[in-house]
Amino acid sequence: MRSDLDAITASAPRSPGGGWPAGFVRTREDRRALLVLSALEGLRPRRLLELARELGSPGACLAAVVGGREGSDADREWARKIDPRGLEAALRSAQARMVVPESAEYLAGLEDLADPPAVLFVRGASLASMPSRVAVVGARRCSPLGREIATEIGAGLARAGICVVSGAAIGIDTAAQEGALRGGGLTIAVLGCGVDQAYPPRNRPLLERVARSGCVASEYPPGVPALPFRFPARNRIIAALAEAVVVVEGARGSGSLITADHALDLGRAVYAVPGAVTSPLSEVPLALIRDGAGMIRGAADLLADIGRLDPSAAPSPMGAGPAGSPAAGPGPGMSEAEREVLSVLSGPTLPEHVARSVGRPLAEVVPVLVTLELRGLIRNVGGRVERRLASAPG
């Protein structure tokens, strides 16, 4: 191991210029050194970029860590222990690859970051094969309606040929990426852990499906666990990979606001789905809209705003169109009582309030609500009933 470390820390000629130095990663030893550097917690991307501009090669940067000039004592200890050949084997086992600056798969948008990743580990399709990308992010503890809206947006984007970028977290992320898959499209899952890890573990089947049609990406090599500080860091990559960012629900302190802030810093368009002013989950979207973010009701609005849908073909708020963003509305074969009940539902409502609104006895209204729920037009959430999206995938 000592001779291997000596070989990969051999210095290379310095390369001036902006972004990552020209020819920063040229040889196999460069890639091995970069593998080790990517596994160190103390050397953040911004500092590594500064070192790279000064020293010119991953080997020289690693030598600076091993020699005590950069990084922490823990970094030096790890750098001496990590076997790059073992990481290479783990990459092969995960069916993943390294994507480095100046390669075709290292997308130009990443270079817009002040701290671009020195490497992305990717499994699945090439990032370069997905030229149109929109990020959809939001609350982990989302509402049922928020989940439906995110699913519908993901499906609508997929049908329009746009790749959905998200973080594979529970809640809105999962809903948007599942919607994209159901819509027959592509999606990129950006992880806050090693590319071979599944976090949360219950999303492993989703990540496998994503990797089969789209791709899973991370700036962390195999074996790196999910830790809290890694998720805000991965949010910058989500923003950088996308041409626009959509926020569906988010309470105060939500990571979705971090992603939106990164998007604004990068000059990306930001959109948000509004919600009730009394809901904590509406705090981030409403604040973004108040500060100038685009307001959308669903995929049709978004596609029209980014120029992927003829505005004249977009559906009205209560209609159903190709992208399908509207709320459920009355359909053929409905009774007059069903139409009346559905017409008064504008948010989560207690059954007795529905009965008072339509002027019918509660005992008469409850069976109507059950019928509407069986037809998939409404749902019961905590004893309150609310409308569902007509076009949300089942």
**Token match 């004893």: residue?**
383
Share of the chain above pLDDT 90, in %: 69
Burial 240-254 (b: 16+ CB within 10 A, else e): bbbbbbbbbbbbeeb
Which is higher by pLDDT, 314 or 59?
A: 59
Separation of alpha carbons 105 and 198, rounded Å: 23
What is residue 391's predicted lDDT score, i.e. its pLDDT? 39
Residues 274-286: pLDDT tens digits? 998 999 999 999 9
One-letter amino acid of 167: G
Task: Name the pLDDT band for 392 (thresholds 50, 70, 90).
Answer: very low
What is residue 153's predicted lDDT score, i.e. its pLDDT? 96
* 177-186, 196-205, 215-224, 364-373, range with the lowest pLDDT: 364-373
What is residue 350's predicted lDDT score, i.e. its pLDDT? 87
Q: Please provide the size of the chain in residues.
A: 394
What is residue 389's predicted lDDT score, i.e. its pLDDT? 73
Given a cut of 70, whether residue 366 has pLDDT beyond it is: yes
Token output for 320:
């159903």
Q: Please give the average per-residue pLDDT across 72-97, as a whole number.
A: 94
Q: Please give the average per-residue pLDDT across 337-365, as a whole number.
A: 86
Given a cut of 60, whether residue 82 has pLDDT beyond it is: yes
Task: Name the pLDDT band for 390 (thresholds 50, 70, 90).
Answer: low
Q: Please give the average per-residue pLDDT across 99-115, as a whole number.
A: 95
Task: Name the pLDDT band for 253 (thresholds 50, 70, 90).
Answer: confident
Which is higher by pLDDT, 319 or 60?
A: 60
What mean pLDDT, rounded, does the chain reach?
87
Separation of alpha carbons 26 and 201, rounded Å: 36
Domain boundaries, the chain: 2-91, 127-313, 336-387
Task: Name the pLDDT band for 384 (thresholds 50, 70, 90).
Answer: confident
Q: Please give the average per-residue pLDDT across 253-273, as a whole number.
A: 94
What is residue 290's predicted lDDT score, i.e. its pLDDT? 95
Asked: is 336-387 a CATH 1.10.10.10 domain? The reply is: yes
DSSP string, 24-70: SS-SHHHHHHHHHHHT-SSS-HHHHHHHHHHH-SHHHHHHHHHTTSS
* 124-138, 146-160, 161-175, 343-357, range with the lowest pLDDT: 343-357
Q: Which CATH architecture has domain 127-313?
A: 3-Layer(aba) Sandwich (3.40)
Q: Please report, for residues 29, 36, 67, 119, the alpha-carbon distance to residue 7 in angstroms, rounded to integers and kept in the order given.
A: 7, 13, 14, 20
Given a cut of 70, whether residue 315 has pLDDT beyond it is: no
What is residue 332's predicted lDDT score, i.e. its pLDDT? 63
* Sign, CA torsion 231/237/241/243: positive
Q: Please give the average per-residue pLDDT across 117-132, as a whole number.
A: 96
Separation of alpha carbons 181 and 195, rounded Å: 20
Given a cut of 80, whether residue 10 has pLDDT beyond it is: no
Q: Could you tell me how far CA 57 lies from the centroid of its own chain? A: 31
**Which residues does residue 378 pair with via DSSP β-bridges, in sequence order?**
387
Q: Please give the average per-residue pLDDT across 87-116, as a whole number.
A: 95
Q: Please give the average per-residue pLDDT across 169-176, as a whole number.
A: 97
Given a cut of 80, whether residue 379 has pLDDT beyond it is: yes
What is residue 6's predicted lDDT score, i.e. its pLDDT? 41
* Sign, CA torsion 40/46/47/48: positive
Q: Please give the average per-residue pLDDT across 245-259, as a whole number.
A: 93
